Amino acid sequence: MVNMKSPLRVFIEVSIKELIKGFRRQRIRWRNAFLLGSILTTIVVLLHTPTFSVFSDDDEETESSSSSSSSSPIYLNGSLHLNIQIVREAKVESFDDLTATPTVQLNASEESGTLLSTKSRKRKRRRKIKDDLILPDPPPAPRHVLSSSERRALSLPPKKALAYAKLEIQRAPEIVNDTDLFAPLFRNLSVFKRSYELMELILKVYIYPDGDKPIFHTPHLNGIYASEGWFMRLMESNTQFVTKNPERAHLFYMPYSVKQLQKTIFVPGSHNIKPLSIFLRDYVNMLSIKYPFWNRTHGSDHFLVACHDWGPYTVNEHPELRRNTIKALCNADLSDGVFVPGKDVSLPETSIRNAGRPLRNIGNGNRVSQRPILAFFAGNHHGRVRPQLLKHWRNKDNDMKIYGPLPHSVARKMTYVQHMKSSKYCLCPMGYEVNSPRIVEAIYYECVPVVIADNFMLPFSDVLDWSAFSVVVPEKEIPRLKEILLQIPMRRYLKMQSNVKMVQRHFLWSTKPRKYDVFHMILHSIWFNLLNQNQTSSTDHDPDS
């Protein structure tokens, strides 16, 4: 049988011969030569690709070569592994079979819409990463195996269980290296860790169902007084600590909001907050008549959470409420006679701008090398401290960016948050009251807070060592403020700034509480102070004795 050459091979041979003749006569059209060369190169590559058998001289020869090497894989364009048998089966499929499968094609507008939606999703994802503080999921905690005494403690009545917990904390084993917590932030990490473990094991809280909305059971989740609302929301939805049986409770929570009380009862312009105290007095009297639990302890195992500045003043009309109840207050002023250290709790004042996304616009602070401002403050000049600060430092020093309300001409170039992120120290002077949301804001933006408020009990100071990540300046030292800050060695500042990042987790609100976050820290401080009040002889109720 005569082996006929394919037309393509004849064309290639004729073209090559003509090209050679052209070279010999030196009449070369280089543009045509390069074009022909590129075509020939493409054809040669395709001839050496097994899947493109249309360029072979004989179909039967290709078929036999395919079957002989069907078990060995080949490479297509150097990356894709193919099997010759699969390729051969794909070649013999008819186009009718291919068209039998329904296909969905997008028109140009649909394709462009899909691309736009994909791009918008990517932009939103990038914006979320930029604006929100992304908290990594904590590693799964190892299962805690209960000791025999811990198992017996679970069956103890509340008072004996508290005595057992107090004794266990006194016996807390020393922690040398902890993977969960950063030891330099704490006064005594061993005590805190053991107390926290016992809180998770033992503590039960009963929430009074009484009280009409919106004053009761209606959390206020935005603004600078949001701490009381967020605690209420997370406490009432909690299943670990809340009990429906008041006989098993160690603590009793009165779920009212001073912010809602002010909005509902206070008459604007009256300058009289006594009606708020009378309302709360009547509420406590109702509880003492309806339930036996208040009278049993005179309110010493009850607690309230109030961040509004008026929080301490709403308890004045009820002596036992003022004297005995554990009060978690943002306005933790040691000089007014209401806040009692060792019993009451200093509540951090956190400014929440978006209730749906409490971690939005938090964190992502600049590196130390990108913080050219020594100290920054901007805000209204009310109270006794801020006028003094502005008097001595506003427009007096380029290193001290001290303003009243941030001017629009300045804010257009650098926002309030950008100022905090660009400052080494963020000044936190008291306003009308000793508390200030700037303390936690500074922590959020990784700026070392400088607290200027005499008689202020700092949040969680029962367990946290604030000297490790903040500076406290007496009010009388405001004229020496820059000198005080410059006297801090750079090595100490770097350590404090690093510690601010580490302590940040203890001041964050999340829609789903995380271990050691601000919700758990508040609850722990209440639990810890409850144990301090428990005067029962702990040795009489040791499960191991």
What is the CATH classification number for the domain harbouring 500?
Answer: 3.40.50.2000
Nearest to 536 by CA among 159, 248, 252, 194: 159
Please report, as a single letter, which amino acid is at residue 44: V
Q: Is residue 107 part of a domain?
A: no
Q: Is residue 539 part of a domain?
A: no
Query: How is residue 194 written in tokens?
Result: 């053991």
Q: Is residue 259 part of a domain?
A: yes
Total tally of structural domains belonging to the chain: 3
Q: Is residue 132 part of a domain?
A: no
Q: Is residue 225 part of a domain?
A: yes
Alpha helices (H) in 298-370, listed in sequence order: 319-323
DSSP string covering 385-408? THHHHHHHHTTT-TTEEE-SSPPH
pTM for the full model? 0.75
Claim to verify: residue 405 and residue 502 sit in the same structural domain: yes
Claim to verify: residue 271 and residue 318 sit in the same structural domain: yes
With a cut of 50, which residues of the chain have pLDDT below it?
1, 51-106, 129, 536-541, 543-545
Query: How is residue 455 written in tokens?
Result: 């008689």
Question: What pLDDT, on the 0 to 100 scale, is given for residue 7?
Answer: 72
H/E element, 75: strand 73-76
Q: Is residue 45 part of a domain?
A: no
Claim to verify: residue 213 and residue 183 sit in the same structural domain: no
Average pLDDT, the chain: 84
Claim to verify: residue 345 and residue 231 sit in the same structural domain: yes
Q: Is residue 100 part of a domain?
A: no
Q: d(Cα 50, Cα 46) in Å, to the nearest integer?
A: 8
Claim to verify: residue 216 and residue 348 sit in the same structural domain: yes
Claim to verify: residue 198 and residue 210 sit in the same structural domain: no
Print the domain residue range for 184.
150-202
Claim to verify: residue 314 and residue 378 sit in the same structural domain: no
Q: d(Cα 423, Cα 428) in Å, to the nearest integer?
A: 13
Q: Is residue 453 part of a domain?
A: yes
Sign of CA dihedral 426, 429, 434, 438: negative
Sign of CA dihedral 435, 437, 443, 449: negative
Claim to verify: residue 285 and residue 192 sit in the same structural domain: no
Query: How is residue 386 written in tokens?
Result: 């801020």
Q: d(Cα 508, Cα 516) in Å, to the nearest integer?
A: 9
Nearest to 357 by CA among 156, 521, 508, 154: 508
Question: What pLDDT, on the 0 to 100 scale, is given for residue 104?
Answer: 43
Claim to verify: residue 185 and residue 323 sit in the same structural domain: no
Task: Report the interhelical angle of 258-265 vs 226-236 (nearest 10°).
Answer: 110
Q: d(Cα 331, Cα 307) in Å, to the nearest integer?
A: 7
Please, what's the b/e burial string for 251-260 (b: 16 or more CB within 10 A of its CB; e: otherwise)? bbbbbbbbbb
Claim to verify: residue 460 and residue 410 sit in the same structural domain: yes
Q: d(Cα 160, Cα 167) in Å, to the nearest integer?
A: 11
Claim to verify: residue 263 and residue 172 sit in the same structural domain: no
HSE-up of 479 (CA within 13 Å, CB side)?
Answer: 1
Claim to verify: residue 384 and residue 491 sit in the same structural domain: yes
